[in-house]
Amino acid sequence: MTRFICSCGGKLTGRIRVPGDKSISHRSIILSSIASGISNISGFLQGEDSLNTIRAFQQMGVMIERDHDQIQVKGAGLYGLQAADSDLDMGNSGTAMRLMLGLLSGQAFDSRLIGDKSLSSRPMQRVIDPLQSMGAVIESESGGRAPLRVSGNHSLTAIEYDMPVASAQVKSCLLLAGIYARGETIVREPATTRDHSERMLRGFGCEVISNNAEVRFYGRQKLHACNIDVPADISSAAFFMVAASIAGDSEITLEHVGINPTRTGVIDILNLMGADISLDNQREMGGEPVADIRVRSVELNGIDIPQELVPLAIDEFPVLFVAAACARGTTRLRGADELRVKESDRIQVMADGLSVLGVEVETKVDGIVIQGGDYRGGEVESHGDHRIAMAFSVAALRASGEIRINDSANVNTSFPGFVELARDAGIRISTHAG
């Protein structure tokens, strides 16, 4: 058991670069592994989740060499993966498990996907159902939960699928299955979600047609190796964006951050709250837009968060709730029921922790209402959710006392070196065992 101890106060200064984007890191390994040729990946996230994805493909016979955040993948080709001699362990990553389920549905061999306790409690039926419509044969535990068993050697047929809930993981899962399917896979979203899979497939030479909230993709296209530069993860940068906004006399620059328009909901929401954020040195790297993000402290205002921004900031809401707790007035979020099935029920867990600190909150089935103002220190539970633990670390900047955050070890799944980087930036944080 790891606990974060965060002393109150502090300010943020300087220039930092957060680790590589987790979503892009997962996808870079998956697509490089089934491409023809050698792909070189720079800026790869050295977190436990993405390293598990590397191990899974090594188990399936792919030659992958790693030198810190530099990765070289000798692709096995579309049909070159081999059966693993043991379970494929996705650790804590719902993204990896859902994407791998789509890919493995098109293989000629059987596979079994497992994860940690948290991942094994998360619902997978949302991807199992459409995959079965394509002809995949998948067995799960009750409620569509892991372990998941995928039977190989079943021909897949493309489908036209209207997603009931906006989810980039579901969309990407179906596109990966669609690589092996006969015909044209068509996926329609109720709202725009991150498009890393579509961009990266094009980078590997595939034709993918995106039109508003519809993606069309013909199966059995050959992938050709390419080089990928993984930008810094905007979800990780979000903690420092909020931190610099709420801490007095702060200014920080976050370098080389991915600003894919399907991921910048956190910037849009903070701007609506009155944040002082500027994007400098904008450029494109490997098909993904990046920029240096400069943030200065300012008094934030509570807002009604526009529902169209919810899918574009779904992973950043824990720390946005902290911004709301520091803002003048009331912040209301609706249409975010997806938050209840993340690594934890992020609506309830954040509400419980904020209540411990004295913040006035009211939970809804699909959202939360937060009344901003002063709050105290206290002891909160992260329930093993990395984004919850980091969010409450940021909250200490404005607390009147120390905040202790229990069960914080899983921060390494998405943000290795978080404590050291946060301390260097000006957050007063330390770790304790037990």
Q: Where are the beta strands (DSSP E) in 212-275?
A: 214-218, 228-229, 251-258
Element (H, E) at 432: strand 429-433
Task: Say if CB 208 and CB 223 are below 8 A apart.
Answer: no
Give pLDDT, residue 120: 95
Give pLDDT, residue 148: 98
Fold category of 22-229 in CATH: UDP-n-acetylglucosamine1-carboxyvinyl-transferase; Chain (3.65.10)
- Beta bridge partners of residue 36, listed in sequence order: 76, 224
Task: Say if CB 275 and CB 295 are below 8 A apart.
Answer: yes
Task: Say if CB 227 and CB 286 are below 8 A apart.
Answer: yes
Q: Is 44 helix (H, G, I), strand (E, B) or coil?
A: coil
Element (H, E) at 371: strand 367-371
CA 163/CA 344 separation, integer angstroms: 23
Give domain limits for the chain: 2-20+231-433, 22-229
With 0.95 as the threshold, say if the pTM is over it: no
The CATH homologous superfamily of the domain defined by 2-20+231-433: Enolpyruvate transferase domain (3.65.10.10)
Q: Is 19 helix (H, G, I), strand (E, B) or coil?
A: coil
Catalytic positions: 315
Same fold, 2-20+231-433 and 22-229: yes
Give pLDDT, residue 186: 98
Task: Say if CB 236 and CB 18 are below 8 A apart.
Answer: yes
Burial class (CB in 10 A: 0-12, 13-18, 19+), 420: exposed
Give pLDDT, residue 135: 98
Closest CA to 57 of 7, 10, 107: 107
Task: Say if CB 391 and CB 403 are below 8 A apart.
Answer: no
Give pLDDT, residue 124: 95
Amino acid at 412: N
| Residues of the chain below pLDDT 50 | none
Give pLDDT, residue 413: 82
Closest CA to 385 of 408, 351, 369: 408
Give pLDDT, residue 249: 96
Taking CA atoms, 136 is separated from 31, 98, 128, 149, 152, in Å, by 20, 14, 8, 11, 8
Query: pLDDT (tens digit, 9 = 90+) per residue, 141-185?
Result: 998 999 999 999 999 999 999 999 889 999 999 999 999 999 999
Give pLDDT, residue 286: 78
Query: pLDDT (tens digit, 9 = 90+) per residue, 97-145?
Result: 999 999 999 999 999 999 999 899 998 999 999 999 999 999 999 989 9
Task: Say if CB 30 and CB 176 are below 8 A apart.
Answer: yes
Taking CA atoms, 73 is separated from 29, 113, 173, in Å, by 8, 22, 21
Closest CA to 223 of 75, 74, 99: 75
Give pLDDT, residue 212: 83
Provide the H-helix boundaries in 34-84.
Answer: 48-59
Closest CA to 321 of 269, 259, 260, 365: 269
* Residue 256 falls in which region: left (phi positive, over 0), alpha (psi -120 to 50) or beta: left
